[in-house]
Amino acid sequence: MAYDGTRYAGFQVQPNAPTVQAELERALSILCDERVRVTGAGRTDAGVHASGQVIDFRTASALDGATIGRGVNALLPEDIAVSGLGPAAEEFHARFSATGRTYEYRIRNALERDPLERLREHHVDTALDVAAMRDASTALVGRKDFSAFAAGPGGVRTIRSAEWCSEGSLVRFEITADAFLRGMVRAIVGTLLWAGRAKIDSAAFAAIVDSRDRGKAGPSAPANGLCLVSVQYDQDLGATNSGGSAPRPLNANEQNEADE
């Protein structure tokens, strides 16, 4: 499923605030004529988008997946849509069965912003050294304690890849890990922007990673540039797999913090 997170307080249900999960549960409950609870693979924060989010839910409805998919899209607001729906294995759990997640962060590096993309890109009007950001990003890969980038309790995660690329004035950062700490990607991007502005070099960035101290890292980049683009699963679980699989899913203790 996909959504524009601009007007939502995140994926997960919150009191007195609009959320993606609440909209999904409302639509599915109407369609299935029963109370439906939804689990998401990534509990994205306020303002963060998704093009490859995965959810699961249980229902006693006799409707098939295609019918439920069409019906729920008719009931959802225009900034949320389900792209595919079908049965999964009994033990499948959208969050705890996931073996990896990939996020993309988009930056418009130009003097003028692009008004048509303003809701999904962070505009930076000063020149960025993308090569320096790419070089610094190598310090992220591996299994490490990423507490320096956590908006709350820290922890150990495995980052499998962290790559920058530029296409004209559009600069994209793609990062894949087994899971992410709350606020982790935006804090990483905000700190890598220091490298892009020559405020720190790759050695200094590596020292920030090793410090486990959020106070040493840079400010979080704005939420509007971030998007959950894919979630990976073991094919045996019967879920849509939008990427490669990893050796095993994380258990509940390893994923005790919210994703981006």
Same domain for 113 and 220, yes or no, is: yes
pLDDT of residue 140: 98
Has residue 144 been placed in a domain? yes
Has residue 238 been placed in a domain? no
Same domain for 73 and 114, yes or no, is: no
Report the Cα–Cα distance between both ends of the chain, in Å, rounded.
16
Same domain for 24 and 117, yes or no, is: no
pLDDT digits (tens, 9 = 90+) for 127-138: 999 999 999 999
Same domain for 51 and 139, yes or no, is: no
Looking at the structure of the chain, the number of domains it has is: 2
Same domain for 69 and 114, yes or no, is: no
Check which CATH number belongs to the domain holding 68 and give it: 3.30.70.580
The pTM score is: 0.91
CA distances from 67 to 38, 49, 61, 75, 87 (A): 18, 26, 11, 13, 13
For the annotated catalytic residues, the residue numbers are 45
Same domain for 106 and 201, yes or no, is: yes
Same domain for 156 and 49, yes or no, is: no
Has residue 27 been placed in a domain? yes
CA distances from 225 to 29, 41, 84, 135, 203 (A): 32, 19, 25, 21, 26
Does the pLDDT value for residue 249 go beyond 80? Answer: no
Burial 17-50 (b: 16+ CB within 10 A, else e): eebbbbbbbebbbebbeeebebbbbbbbbbbbbb
Has residue 237 been placed in a domain? no
Residue 56 is encoded by which pair of tokens? Answer: 């699961």
Does the pLDDT value for residue 208 go beyond 50? Answer: yes
pLDDT of residue 246: 35
Same domain for 49 and 127, yes or no, is: no
Does the pLDDT value for residue 254 go beyond 90? Answer: no
Has residue 119 been placed in a domain? yes
Has residue 9 been placed in a domain? yes
Has residue 259 been placed in a domain? no
Residue 183 belongs to domain spanning: 100-227
pLDDT digits (tens, 9 = 90+) for 67-106: 999 999 999 999 999 999 989 999 999 999 999 999 999 9
Same domain for 76 and 185, yes or no, is: no
Check which CATH number belongs to the domain holding 213 and give it: 3.30.70.660
Same domain for 196 and 128, yes or no, is: yes
Same domain for 26 and 77, yes or no, is: yes
pLDDT digits (tens, 9 = 90+) for 140-180: 999 999 999 999 899 999 999 999 999 999 999 999 999 99
Residues with Cβ < 8 Å from 194, sequence gap 6 or more? 200, 205, 218
